[in-house]
A and B are shown apart, each in its own frame.
Chain A
Amino acid sequence: MLLSITRVLTGANDLTSTGTMSAAFGLAVPIGLAGLGGLWSERAGVANIGLEGMMILGTFGAGLAGWQYGVWAGLITAIIFGAVGGLLFGLATVTFGVDQIVAGTAINILGLGLTQFLAKLLFTTAPGGGATQSPPIFGMLPAISIPVISDPLTSLQEKSWFLVSDVAGVVSGLFYQLSLLTIITVILFMLTKWILWHTAFGLRLRSAGENPWAAESLGIKVNLYKYFAVTMSGGLAGLAGAYLAIVATGVYRGGQTAGRGYIGLATMIFGNWRPGGTAVGATVFGYIDTLQLRDDANIRGLVLFGSLLILSLAGFIFKSGRRNTALAFLILGVVLGMAFLSTSVFPPEVAQIAPYLTTLIVLATAAQRLRPPSADGIPYRKGDHS
């Protein structure tokens, strides 16, 4: 609704077009997968800033196996490489009880160094490869388009009718040229929700992140669950890397992840350590990411959208009685609105920093209401209670 008002006011028709929405959902996939990886690990009480390194391992794995044995081998190898990174992370944090942030930093250094080293050794002499780039990955993952749904909606969207066209654009974007990995991602989100919140296994895993001492006293092998969680986390980060290498570009390229591991982490926090929230966060960040690749008018639209969104949030918050927060939101919204009115062209940097700024603002205004797992980030040693 707000989006469609914004579109009409700014005339940035691309804001909700099928192309934009489809690209947004595409960019949301790697961010969402990384966020989901973070969620698994942190739900078991292991804060994971090594996601970026594991994701890099994934992109490399995809490139390494992908150019020789095709996409499917690339996909599997990426998951395995990421999972191995996760295992190593588990060895340091779970078995040796090293500070988790420190270990994560080490994994990031190691992942980067290892892949750059191997890429230079293995890809330089390969046909079509280079020191920082793998030869093209051959084959394609099946992309699914449901023309019965997306075609009529696309034509509807092109009419630029208020609201109707916008909804049509969003929905047809969802069904247009859907990569298999996108579908898998959606399924993984639902599976995670089900496993972690609706099975005994998930309850045990989460108890390792909430109160490992109590969990251990109930006979749960906390360290085993933590190992499982960080390996899963690495595998998901690896899959995120695979998406970048296989679907988004078709090659492994150095620096391809571009900090998406960190955005994934931000997404998870934005989503309050829950799959649903993480998915929403990933979509929002993917959307912002898309707009910066498209034309400048969209970024102006984005600013107005942000302003309207924040103003309406201010209204809600005011109703719920928290006046100070509401006032802060009101001021922020007005400032953004004035920025919109006074500037005709916004630089792409606005969209570049938007995800990070959003996360900071969410943290600043809602940190007290976010609920991370209680024992998140605390090294756990079997037998000693601290």
Chain B
Amino acid sequence: MSVKRIGDTLLAPILALIIALIVTSAILLAFGADIAEVFGAMWSYGTRPNSIVLILNLATAYYLSAVAVAIGFKMNLFNIGVNGQYLLGAMVAAAVAGQLSLPGIISLPITILVAMLVGAGWAGIAAWLKVSRGVSEVISTIMLNFIALGIISYTIIRTGIGKDIAVNVRGTKLIPESGWMPGFKIPGAANEVYGFTLVAVAIGVGYWFLLNRTTFGFDLRASGMSPSAASASGVNSRRMTVYTMLISGAIAGLVALPDLLGDSHTYTLNFPSGFGFTGIAIALIGRNNPIGIAFGALLWGFLDTTSAQLDLIGVPQEIVTILQGVTVLAVVIAYEIARRNKIREQQQEVGRALTEKSNIL
């Protein structure tokens, strides 16, 4: 039974990935590219130690973003606002950390806390709008994303918080070295894995624990599966909405910290954006499961890190984005079909059981 269950769970994403590979191969063939060369180039580059470090580092950010999205998904909340939440969180955290000249053991927690608070606060606006004004969080978070971008560009370009970091680059004051997060090395690699990778792992464990081992997690999943049943059993759905959104936002606030604390040490307008949407895709393919998401994040990290190699052999690297888009679409369709088959199976089982019973009578 349990082997069958695991098989069923894995079947959909693997099938989707195969479909996506077929579609992208067809596109590549249509333009006369050598498929073996394309995937060979990605594989040989992606398996070098240095590349593995890059993949891990990118996957860390993706993982955090996907967990932030997934926790909302668990109770049917759609946090499209991860983008705005993490960018705003990173900017404020960078600005605060730039002012701190304390030992890392004090300044790092402060930086992390600030990022989480800002992320949660920004998500909190959407939560408040939803429970008190009935505004769909899908729309409000989209709007809040754009507003966050406006606030950030205003702050960096026009206030004293932004400084000229280099020629034509404005960003927050460089974080003093004591406030950086040390990384660690893996054998054979010259570059370091961000220390924040471990924080991400902890967040993953915490996410699993919260959902499966706490009353809150139970209420959350119950509200997601059947809001009416949950509220009938005494779950306050408004409060759940607010808490879930706040937690989601707090985790979202962390998304940019691996890069900020491990590499760039300043928030500039060139900071990578769009991780929020990547998080949605990864949460979907990982089916909101902490381990599934980890695989998804690593896969996405691999694809995005190695895609740059493709330009070198004359294939536009954006083929990888197509691969990702098709995977997501195929995955959600596969899940939907699997879900319906399961319901049908259950119904047939019930039907069989009932007819057997009536035969006995």
Contacts and interface: CB of A to CB of B under 8 A. Distances in A.
A265 B147 contact: no
Contacts, number: 130
B140 A96 contact: no
A247 B111 CA distance: 47
DSSP class of B's interface residues: helix, strand, loop or mixed? helix
Interface string B297-332: 000000000000000000010111110111011001
B123 to A, nearest CB: 14
Contacts of B325: 106-107, 109-110, 113-114
Contacts of B150: 349, 352-353, 356
Interface stretch (A149-157, A236-244, A271-279, A358-366): A358-366
B102 interface: no
A99 interface: yes
B143 interface: yes
Interface stretch (A8-16, A116-124, A336-344): A116-124
Given A353-B151, A357-B147, A113 B78 contact: no
Nearest to A254: B318
A177 interface: no
A96 B336 contact: yes
A262 B142 contact: yes
Contacts of B284: 102
A92 B332 contact: yes
B165 interface: no
Contact of B318 (A117, A349, A368): A117
Nearest to B329: A106
Contacts of A28: none
B138 A101 contact: yes
A367 B318 contact: no
Contacts of B94: none
A269 interface: yes
A145 interface: no
A349 B154 contact: yes
B337 A356 contact: no
Given A108-B277, A265-B142, A102 B332 contact: yes
Contacts of A259: 146
B106 interface: no
DSSP class of A's interface residues: helix, strand, loop or mixed? helix
Given A113-B322, A363-B140, A96 B333 contact: yes
Given A109-B321, A364-B135, A117 B316 contact: yes
A116 B154 contact: no
Contacts of A368: 133-134
A105 B153 contact: no
A109 B281 contact: yes
Interface in A70-120: 88, 92, 96-99, 101-103, 105-110, 112-114, 116-117, 120
Given A117-B318, A349-B154, A356 B147 contact: yes
Contacts of A222: none
A259 B80 CA distance: 14
Nearest to A353: B150
B333 A109 contact: no
A97 B336 contact: yes
A112 B147 contact: no
B257 interface: no
B31 interface: yes
A21 B332 CA distance: 45
Contacts of B336: 96-98
A101 B78 contact: yes
B333 A98 contact: yes
Interface in B1-50: 27, 31
Interface in A32-58: 47, 49
B158 interface: yes
Interface string B69-99: 0000000001010000000000000000000
Contact of B146 (A99, A109, A262): A262
A266 interface: yes
A364 B321 contact: no
Given A108-B277, A109-B277, A349 B151 contact: yes
B327 to A, nearest CB: 9
Contacts of A109: 277, 281, 321, 324-325, 328
Contacts of A349: 150-151, 153-154, 158
Given A113-B324, A357-B143, A367-B133, 18 more contacts: A47-B138, A96-B336, A96-B337, A98-B332, A105-B328, A109-B325, A113-B325, A114-B318, A121-B316, A262-B142, A265-B142, A269-B139, A349-B153, A352-B146, A359-B139, A360-B129, A367-B135, A368-B133
11 contacts: A96-B337, A99-B332, A101-B138, A105-B280, A110-B325, A110-B326, A117-B316, A269-B139, A347-B158, A353-B149, A360-B147
Give the 8 A-B CB pairs with smallest separation, nearest first.
Answer: A113-B321, A110-B325, A353-B150, A120-B316, A117-B318, A116-B318, A349-B154, A109-B325
Interface of A: 47, 49, 88, 92, 96-99, 101-103, 105-110, 112-114, 116-117, 120-121, 259, 262, 265-266, 269, 347, 349, 352-353, 356-357, 359-360, 363-365, 367-368
Interface of B: 27, 31, 78, 80, 129, 133-135, 138-140, 142-144, 146-147, 149-151, 153-154, 157-158, 277, 280-281, 284, 316, 318-322, 324-326, 328-329, 332-333, 336-337, 340
